Structure formats: C-alpha cells, structure tokens
Structure 1
Amino acid sequence: MGTERKALTDSLVRGLEPGEKNYSVWDAKQPGFGCQVTPAGVKSYVFKWVLSGKQGWLTIGQTPAWNADRARKYAAQLREEVDNKRDPRRLRLDELEAPTMAKLMDDYFEKHVLRKNKPRTQSEAQTNIRIIKERLGALKVKDCTDTDVQVKLMDALEDTPIRANRARAALSVAFGLAELWKWRPQNSNPCALVSKYPENPRKRFLATEELQELGAELGQREACWPYSVAAVRLLIFTGARKDEVLGMKWADIDLERRQVRITEHKTSGTMGDKYLPLNGGALDVLGFQLDKEGQLVLDGKGRPRRRPGALPRVLGNPFVLVGSGREDPSHPDRRLPWHLMDLQGPWKVIREAVSVKLTSAKKVAAWKKWAALPAPDRLKSPMEAPGIMDVHLHDLRHTFGAFGAGSGLSLPLIGGLLGHSQASTTQRYAHLAPSPLQEASEGISARLAAAMKKAPEGA
C-alpha cells in the first residue's frame, strides 16, 4: 500500500478506506505528493522530499478543507523549493507567518488613519475596519481575491449599499498599503475589480411649514439646551457642515468682516482655511445685537453689544458651542474644555416633537418601530416618513442651498456659500469676492428666519 501510485482525484480520495495502520497513496503526476489515510479514516494530503541526503515530510492539509487540485498545486510549489535546493518547510513557515487581513486593517488604522485623518474620519474608519475584519479578517492578505471582496463584503452588505461602499473604499486604501509593504504584488488590488453600489444623493430639504414648526420647537428647547439649539440654528442659517459649526471658536470670529475662520473642515487638506460668512441670522444666534439696517450695535467702548439672553460664553473654553469636555490623556480623571459633541441625541428629540405637531404621535411611533427593523424587512415594507422624521442634520445644509436656489441665486454663488471642494468648482468660485457672498448669505438668512418666525433684529 505504501508505494501505490495513482492519479489523485477528489473521487479517488473519497473512496480510500482506512486500514489497520497508516498508509499513503502517491500521485502519479506530481513527485512527492500523496494522500495519507489513518486507521481512524482521517485523510491528509502530504508531501515528501529528499534534500542533501535527508528525507523530509510535510502535511499539506486534511480533506475536505483541501481538495486534490489545490493540494497538488501547493505540492508543486514545495517541489520547486526542493529543486532550488531550499527547504520547503521554509515556504510553509512563511505561509503561516504571512499577515492576515485582520492585521492589515489594524496596521492601516495605526499607520494611516491615526496619522492622516481627523477624529471624525477616524471614528468612521473604525466602523469600516470592524466590518471588514468580521468578514475577511481570517484570510491571508496575499490570498484575498476580488471574489472574496465581492461575496463576503459587498454582497453581504447589499442592504446597506452606502456602508458597503465606504468599507470598500477603506479596504482599497489598505490594499494599497499592503502593496507598499510588500505584502501583495504590485497592481494586485482586488477592489479595482469590484464595482461599488450606485448612490443617489439625498434631496431632502425642509419646506416652509416644516421650518415654522422647527423654529417654534427650537424656541421651546432653548432654555434647557442652549448650545444644541444654537448649533441647529447655525446649521440652518450658514449652510455649514456639522463639524464646522461644532468646532467654531470665538477667536476665529471676525465681526468687522462678518465671517468666521474654519480651520478644521472636510476639505482643509486641499483648500486650507475656510471663511464662512456670518449673516444676520447667524450673528443673532451668536448673541450679537443688530440695528434696523442689520449693522452691529456697539456699546460705549465701541465693542459689539451682546443682546439679552445671548448664548453663554464659558471662561477658559475657546469654543462657541460648549460641551462636557474631553478626557485629559495625562490625567484620566480630569476633563479638558471642549466643544459640543453629541448633537444627534437632541436632534432626534426635536425632530420627533416637530413631526408629532405636523402629523400625529401614532404615525411617528409606527415610523420608529419600522426604522428599528433589519434592513431587509424595511425594504420589503417601505414606509413614508411622517413629518421630518427622515430629516438628517446634514439636510439643514441642503435646506440652505435650496432656499438660495429659490431666491434666484446662481449655482456658482450657492456653491461658493456651501464651500464645494472639487477643483473645477472651486476655480469657478475663485473670482467671487466676499461681498456678493455676504449679500447672498444675508438674503438666504432673511428667508429662513421669516419661515421660522424668528427674524433676527434688522434682518
């Protein structure tokens, strides 16, 4: 039995019966390649060789995890090592020590994300990394194929296409690093062969009736949530991104030019500092008093006067929208002054209250129950959102742009106000001076404030 040679196939191996002791059937095609069968019926593909007068033996893998063709190909690699006077066990050791996808994603976070991305992007990256590691983590980096990415990642996340696309993008960057670190051959990124899902841009913005109810609700919540309410109003009146508003500092506000400098924003890496016009609505939120012509009212010392009930400024905290602080790395029991972080919680409460006023509590409750279902169940039974339950904080930015378009402003002018990031678009806005941007922003502010029944003084 020990010297029997046959063309090893899956069907032949399945038919091998156990004997009283171990025996091997050797392949007639590939030298040194065989299948060993134990008395217990365990079948393992093996490879034996002679190098420098010494015989070696290596177990490739057991059935059914390994099939005959895969094991034969691996045996051919081992044979090549022997022919080149190298111990084939070194290849197997390299195989075992080869980095996994889990390690790649960990190194991607430590060596790329933490060094190059902002905190918000780092948080998003952690979500993508967790998803990728759950589905691909056990694979060797060099063995991961486009089929793995398609089936185990994209197909598995088909109910959440945007999440799938974000994970694919992160994975593509990680594979680029793997090539740089010699963990994969050059130009072997499997993500290049995997298409992303189409994304339809959100077009949701608030109508006048919705803004009226939102304005009223914000007024009722202002006493208990002054900074959260101010944040929502600033999102509406400026069209800025959430992080731009939350990160505003008093020192960056230039009242003479009526603008605020934003140093940390989505496109700061390519565009540098961003200067956001402060219209009457925004200045009112910040607590500055305006006259009937919309000009700042000055006190006896020539300083801008703060209106009664103005947004509180906290001594020692540089941020406009004050939060509970962040942990001091050197003193975990102490918190450092920081800006407001959680706006989603208050927004959900405000959004629900407005929706109840616009529709009914029963419809809102049904929507919340539906929204908690798994994605496949939601797709089977789609439901129309009551009130503004489907409105995200970023949709307030869309509302600013929509009111600008409704005012007859040109698309380039609206793009300048919103701070679009594409190079070609930015070039089209380059000739726009701050004055028309300011005038355009003031016009939008007046319409938004009127819709919310909270027109700033002088607007």
Structure 2
Amino acid sequence: MTKAPFDKLPRGLGLRQRKRSDGSWRVWWEPTGAERAEGAAPAELDAARPTWSLREAKRLKASATGQAQPAPVSSGGRTIAALVETYKRAPRFGKLADATRTGYEADFRVIVEKWGTQPVASFTKPVIYTWWETLHGRSPTYAGKLIRSFSVLFTHAERLGWRPENSNPCRGLGMPGATRRKRHASWAEIDALLTTAERLDMHNMACGIALALFTGQRQSDVANARIADFHRSNTLQLDGSPVTVWHLRRSKRGNLGSVPLHPEAAARVQALIDAAPEGAETLLRDEATGQPYSLDLFRKRWASIRATAAKSCPSLLRPALQFRDLRRTFGVLARAAGALREDVADVLGNSADTDAGLGEVYMPSQFDTALRAVQAIKRPDTEGRKKSS
C-alpha cells in the first residue's frame, strides 16, 4: 500500500498513521498524557479499513474521556449560538468596557464556528478539556483565553436555567496559567523608535510612543486620547514648571485616571496641540491621511516604525517588541529608578478602581504618588558612562 489511509487526520482525536520502511502503513490510536494517566493505552487499528479505524478511534477517545455511548441531548433551541446571542443582549454585557466586549465577541465567533449548533446541556468537562488540549497544542495562551470566554457563557447558561447550577464544564480543568510576558524596551530601543518615527515624519506616532512609555497607558487609550483631556496644572510643579495632566477614562476597566506627564511626553503633546487643525478633538492624527488613527492603522504604523528601527537596532525584533510592552517598560523604568510599587500602580490604574477624575482637588496624595513614579524616570547619564569607560 503506497497511498496513505487518511489524506488528513482529524484534530484532537488521537488517530495516527505512519509509513513503514517496506511501504506499508501503520494506523493506531494514541491517548494523551492525561488519558494515559487514567489507564488508556495505544491501540492498533487497520490501515486497510480507514472507515472502521476512524470509528474505532472515536470510540476509544470517547471511552478515554468518559463519553462512551453518550445519550443524545435535544437542544430545544438552547444551542451555543443562541446562548451567545442571549448573553450579548444581557445588561451585564452592555456594562462591560468597550475593549472587553470586543475581546469577548472575537472569542465568541470562534466558539460559535466550532460549537454553534450543539446543545448547551450536552457539554461535559471531558469535551471541553479535549478541545482545550487541541487548542493548547497550537497556542497555549489563546487556548486559555477561549476557554475562559466559554466559561462566561456557561455561567450565563446557569443563570438562565439552561444548565444546572454549578455545572460549568470549564471549571476545574487544571489549565496551567498563561506565561507572563516580561519583554520591555531598553533605552537604546526607545531612542531608535523615537528617532525613526521622527525621521519618517510620523511625529504623531512618536508622540504616541512617548505617551505610552512615560505614562504606562494602553494602546487604545493612547490612540484615542483627546486634546481636551490634557490640562496644565496650577498646583503641580516639576523642576519649577507646571505639570501637564492627562485625564482619561481607561478603556479596559472604565475607571477614570489622572496622569501627570513626564517632560518628554508633555513637550510632544503640547507640540501636537499647538499644530492641531481648528475643531480637532483627537490628539493623534495620521500624517498620511490627516485623520485620527483607527486601532488597525495605529498598529500598522507601529509595525512599520519598528521594522525600520530594527535595521539599526536589531534587538527590537529579538523577540519583537510589542506596543503593549511600552506599558511594562514604564513600570520597569520607574521601579528601577526607585519608585514604589504603589506609586507605579497609581499611574497604571490597575490597583483599586478609584475615580481619580478630580484627584488634584480631592486626592492630592494620589497625585503625589503618581508624580513620584513619573518623575523617577531619568535617562541614563551617557556622558558619565563614557568617561568611566
């Protein structure tokens, strides 16, 4: 036999095939590590009977995951697709931040594509775990994200009475936590990015990079920053000069924040405000189009700047620095300069969900801590280092 029994093996089933040295084919079923731990063992199948082998592999998989001979479940209209639409109409979904809703909707599309017609009541923990294993083999982080979004749907199904209480099959799977990303930019990389953006006449992107770096705010908040949200403070001083403060509502959590700007960011912000066309509302505008950035265009411009900067600073792509890494870079630089963790958290806005919109008046202490973190960031003394070397 020279032709493979299966042109394409089904994913996640454990069905395997391999050509022997004599030209014949071996077909067998291979359990996962977790299934082996439960007592499952590999089983030889018949390369000459691919239909039977496929059916047998499905039986073995079902047996290994506790799904042998499942009883048919009628959906009664309560399918995964229907559950998604019901959840999206729920008040709690409407109260989520825009960025959170967008993330859920993207995950729901993948879930519906795979499971949309399946009855909500038919899902068991082994079914979800098997799918997670399949996804994990391709993208561990994304696998966990999808299962967490699926869990939100099953919790909603319990509220609706579509599943019994405490029957969420996504819980207790023992999924390992996602590996935390630790990439942050060096000063050489920061300067390469800023210099390249200016050289490419992308002054708005240079300002966006500086804003993210020196305030630690997220990409969507930087790209959508409004001119009206920046104010010179009459009470805060940095080296004897008034401090520019950015008042914003953070897109992810919906909490208000007031962030004093580092002098490097403040200078770029003020330059754009001075040059803004009459009636402009958004701070950052694409030079090529003259229009405010969409998030997609913002990402494309960032990728272009990074690729060009990497020609003189190759470390930008080893591994590739992402825009979101600038937020982490702020924390790293501020902490390295001696800022306290709680001071950094006040700037990042990921400590307590506190309304700091009127912080200068009602919470001066919070402004003091935020200012300490921003003020802590200093460029390295390159002249001193040259002399010492």
TM-score range, shorter chain: 0.5 to 0.7
Q: Could you tell me which residue of structure 2 aligns to residue 184 of structure 1?
A: 163
Whether 1:106 aligns to 2:85 is yes
Which residue of 170, 191, 194 maps to 1:212?
Answer: 191
Q: Could you tell me which residue of structure 2 aligns to residue 202 of structure 1?
A: 181
Name the SS for the 1:156 alignment partner. Answer: helix
Q: Could you tell me which residue of structure 1 aligns to residue 307 of structure 2?
A: 352
Alignment-mate amino acid for residue 247 of structure 1: N
Q: Could you tell me which residue of structure 2 aligns to residue 447 of structure 1?
A: 379
Name the SS for the 1:260 alignment partner. Answer: strand
TM-score norm. by structure 1 comes to: 0.58
Change (3 A) 1:132 1:197: farther
Structure 2: tracts of 5 or more residues without a match: 1-67, 237-243, 357-362, 383-389
CA distance in 1, matches of 2:316, 2:283: 33
1:271-308 CA distance string (max 9 Å, x none): x31111122112111125xxxxxxxxxxxxxxxxxxxx
- Superposition deviation, residue 238 in structure 1: 1.4
Change (3 A) 1:344 1:168: same
Q: Could you tell me which residue of structure 2 aligns to residue 16 of structure 1?
A: none
- Contact kept in structure 2, 1:135 and 1:152, CA below 8 Å: no
Which residue of 241, 246, 263 maps to 2:218?
Answer: 241
Q: Could you tell me which residue of structure 2 aligns to residue 77 of structure 1?
A: none
- Contact kept in structure 1, 2:151 and 2:168, CA below 8 Å: yes
CA distance in 1, matches of 2:316, 2:257: 36
- Superposition deviation, residue 141 in structure 1: 0.4
Q: Give the alignment of 1:256-295 within 5 angstroms.
A: 256=233, 257=236, 258-268=244-254, 272-287=255-270
Alignment-mate amino acid for residue 346 of structure 1: R
- Superposition deviation, residue 431 in structure 1: 8.8
Please report the RMSD computed on the Cα atoms of aligned residues, expressed in angstroms: 3.2
TM-score norm. by structure 2 comes to: 0.67
Whether 1:255 aligns to 2:218 is no
Alignment-mate amino acid for residue 437 of structure 1: A
- Contact kept in structure 2, 1:405 and 1:411, CA below 8 Å: yes
Change (3 A) 1:162 1:213: same
Name the SS for the 1:191 alignment partner. Answer: coil
Which residue of 310, 315, 321 maps to 1:391?
Answer: 321
Give the ranges of 4+ consecutive aligned residues of structure 1 lying more than 6 Å apart after TM superposition.
Answer: none
Q: Give the alignment of 1:112-127 within 5 angstroms.
A: 115-127=94-106
* Alignment size in residue pairs: 297
CA distance in 1, matches of 2:373, 2:157: 48
Name the SS for the 1:255 alignment partner. Answer: strand
Name the SS for the 1:192 alignment partner. Answer: coil
CA distance in 1, matches of 2:133, 2:277: 47
Identical positions, percent: 21
Q: Could you tell me which residue of structure 1 aligns to residue 150 of structure 2?
A: 171
CA distance in 2, matches of 1:386, 1:322: 25
Q: Give the alignment of 1:76-95 within 5 angstroms.
A: 95=74
Q: Could you tell me which residue of structure 1 aligns to residue 20 of structure 2?
A: none
CA distance in 2, matches of 1:433, 1:120: 26
Name the SS for the 2:320 alignment partner. Answer: coil
Alignment-mate amino acid for residue 252 of structure 2: K
CA distance in 2, matches of 1:108, 1:181: 10
Name the SS for the 1:261 alignment partner. Answer: strand
Name the SS for the 2:259 alignment partner. Answer: strand
- Contact kept in structure 2, 1:323 and 1:340, CA below 8 Å: no
Q: Who wins on radius of gyration, i.e. which is larger?
A: 1
Q: Give the alignment of 1:292-331 within 5 angstroms.
A: 312-322=275-285
Q: Could you tell me which residue of structure 2 aligns to residue 132 of structure 1?
A: 111
CA distance in 2, matches of 1:278, 1:411: 18
Whether 1:406 aligns to 2:336 is yes
Alignment-mate amino acid for residue 262 of structure 1: L
